[in-house]
Amino acid sequence: MTQHNSSQLNDISPVDLALEGTDTHSLTQLSADRRILELLSRSFPNASAAATEIINLEAILNLPKGTEHFVADIHGEYEAFSHILKNASGNIRRKVSELFHTSMREEEMRQFCSLIYYPGRKLELIKATEPDINGFYNITLHRLVKVLQEVSSKYTRSKVRKALPKEFAYIIEELLHEAPSGENKQLYYNRIVETIILTGQADAFIKAICRVIQGLSIDQLHILGDIYDRGNGAHLIMDTLSGYSDYDIQWGNHDALWMGAAAGNECCIANVLRICLRYGNMETLEDGYGINLVPLATFAMERYADDDCSVFEPKLAPGDNAMTIKSRRLIAKMHKAIAIIQFKLEGELLRQYPQWNMQGRRLLHLIDYNNGTIKLNGKEYPLLDTRFPTIDPADPYTLTVEERELMTKLTHSFLVSEKLQSHMDIFLNHGGMYTTCNSNLLFHASVPLNEDGTLKMIDILGERLSGRKLLQRTELLMRAAFNHDTPERLRQTARDYYLFLWCGPDSPLFDKSAMTTFERYFIADKTTHHEEKGHYYTLRDDENVCNRILDDFGVTGQHRHIINGHVPVKAGKGENPIKADGMLMVIDGGFSKAYHNTTGIAGYTLVFHSRGFQLVQHVPFTSAEEAVRNGTDILGTTQIVELNHSRLRVRDTDKGAILQSQIEELKELLYAYRHGLIKEKK
């Protein structure tokens, strides 16, 4: 064959090569731009390197698909969230059962799993009672290596090696890959374990190997929104994610509320403070983000000194008696103070944006302040609280001088919180309005629909959009609030828009007729509390509707699904989280303790491994201490949603498609090397 230099590569036609006897397969490989191959040659400088990588990638394609873990609506419940990461929603328990069901009793397996989840704390308990600690170490280390062999079997040695702690990497690799077959190997294997014990490294080694088991039990973590509010550990959840490897976040309306607050939206700041005070959650604000609440407390004590603010007593979790009566009274005053400020700020902002169709949420001017009543939809209702010392009936939406000074201080506190801003960076870097992954469409709440199931057109900055384009444009606008290159006028609009996303009737993060916050505080008649859900929630059980949404988002595959949260599934009343004959899965089962009475359970998580989908229903989590001491877990029941006929491989995933594309490019490079079109390097 005639030799060609690299500059001639783009000038060679398939016909020319065919005349020179080139095989048909090679012809198709020359479609790539020469510049791509030259860039690729920097990483793979010769034919041997390219061929080795092709072999490696082909091998990876035949590994079992990694386990994906779906979690939604965590709502600040850090301990429960941390626990399901540690137990991989039962995936570790399943592996242990498969490995040891003939050699360990049920109680032993529970305690062994507890050790994997909480190795440090569990070891302390065991050492206090175990008479033969070296014997325990010996048995446990052998068992842990077996579990690690099982959970790491889906991954390449390279990926497993990267997950190993440096101080024990070599030893763990030897134990993982040297099966104790034959007398010599058995002695070698056993001596490694014995030496770990003799050198006093058993505790550290057990902790290290347990962390690796936890990490490799989940290949990819998907969080479908609402990390914030209600529970007191949202900042701890974000800290956990900051050290996590492979995860994505689909923003929820509670997340958008905090994002808006961090961007400087005063309505969002007031809402964030109100919700934290409503649930007695000061830890996230004060300990987590260093938000200074002293100005709010001072203002509340002065303006509401003779008001018991009983309507605004914090809603504490059942059994939470840690808060003193004095603290509850102060929080109630602060709660009322910020709630009134919120209603004022919202009323003024909604006046500026009539296109949001939220004018009906401006209620302060409808109050009869002399009679203590409010007229809604032609009916008059008595108010549960009639003391409004900061409201001017003639100008109800204007802040007093003191309220304005307070909001300036609070806004500054949010803007200068380094921890809060760093956590917002996590949302921006790892999050979005939706994502598609392995034939699954993930979003938090809804895709707005018309009554007939068609995609609803929503106005956003003067343009009417629906479905995928609506969510894409919404995400761009949300990001603009944090982009310093964005013109200030657009940044202000973007900041304002976070209020609409939090509670707007057509917001894809909310999608209800209204957020009836005022009515829930001030009106006893519960009919005024009703929030009519959007059409998505009534039509999502229709396969045709689900197919229409999936088509719009470009989701393909024989088995494709929609997965979302937002509205708790009332499992206690018989509601099924699996809808549209398995096409749609709702995994908000009420992580938050505030929802447990409503849902009857403590949340769902979804696991998608190489054999199919499993939906895990959780029981309320007591405490990590209880889990360590008694081996208790939060797994309730596991439901097989979908079982594959054959085990899924990496080649069946989105990652597999990327790897296959890389293989094709490497084949082109290999051809170019072998035919002198690109020169090999050492």
* Tens-place pLDDT, residues 564-614: 988 777 666 677 889 999 999 998 756 666 555 554 446 788 989 888 998
Check pLDDT > 80 for residue 326.
yes
Average pLDDT of the segment spanning 431-459: 97
Looking at 35-44, 303-312, 565-574, which range is the least confident one? 565-574
pLDDT value, residue 592: 63
* Tens-place pLDDT, residues 377-389: 999 999 999 999 9
Task: Provide the β-strand partners of residue 564.
Answer: 586
pLDDT over 90 percentage in the chain: 72
The whole-angstrom separation of Cα 543 and Cα 268 is: 37
* Tens-place pLDDT, residues 249-297: 999 999 999 999 999 999 999 999 999 999 998 999 999 999 999 999 9
3-class DSSP assignment, residue 223: strand
Check pLDDT > 50 for residue 454.
yes
Confidence of residue 394 (pLDDT cuts 50, 70, 90): very high
Check pLDDT > 80 for residue 75.
yes
Check pLDDT > 60 for residue 231.
yes
pLDDT value, residue 318: 61
Check pLDDT > 80 for residue 179.
no
pLDDT value, residue 408: 98
Check pLDDT > 50 for residue 209.
yes
* Tens-place pLDDT, residues 105-162: 999 999 999 999 999 999 999 999 999 999 999 999 999 999 999 999 889 888 899 9
For the entire predicted model, the pTM comes to 0.89
Check pLDDT > 60 for residue 10.
no
Check pLDDT > 80 for residue 319.
no
pLDDT value, residue 504: 96
pLDDT value, residue 630: 73
Check pLDDT > 70 for residue 182.
no
Average pLDDT of the segment spanning 184-206: 89
Cβ neighbours of residue 571 under 8 Å, at least 6 residues apart? 577, 589, 599, 600, 601, 617
Check pLDDT > 90 for residue 19.
no
Own/partner contacts of 31-39, CB < 8 Å, gap of 24 or more, are 31/668, 32/665, 32/668, 34/6, 34/9, 34/10, 34/677, 34/678, 36/665, 37/9, 37/665, 37/668, 37/669, 37/672, 37/678, 38/6, 38/678
Average pLDDT of the segment spanning 415-435: 97
What the block records as the tokens of 153 is 């079997």
Strands, DSSP E only, in 274-433?
Answer: 367-368, 373-376, 379-382, 431-432
Check pLDDT > 80 for residue 2.
no
The whole-angstrom separation of Cα 19 and Cα 1 is: 10
pLDDT over 70 percentage in the chain: 90
pLDDT value, residue 184: 65
Average pLDDT of the segment spanning 333-337: 98
pLDDT value, residue 548: 97
Q: What is the mean pLDDT of the chain?
A: 89
| Nearest one of 11, 2, 3 to 34, comparing CA atoms | 11
Average pLDDT of the segment spanning 17-46: 65
Check pLDDT > 80 for residue 307.
yes
Strands 635-643 and 612-618: antiparallel
pLDDT value, residue 573: 67
The whole-angstrom separation of Cα 668 and Cα 27 is: 9
What the block records as the tokens of 107 is 């109680």
Cβ neighbours of residue 449 under 8 Å, at least 6 residues apart? 455, 456, 534, 535, 536, 539, 545
pLDDT value, residue 97: 92
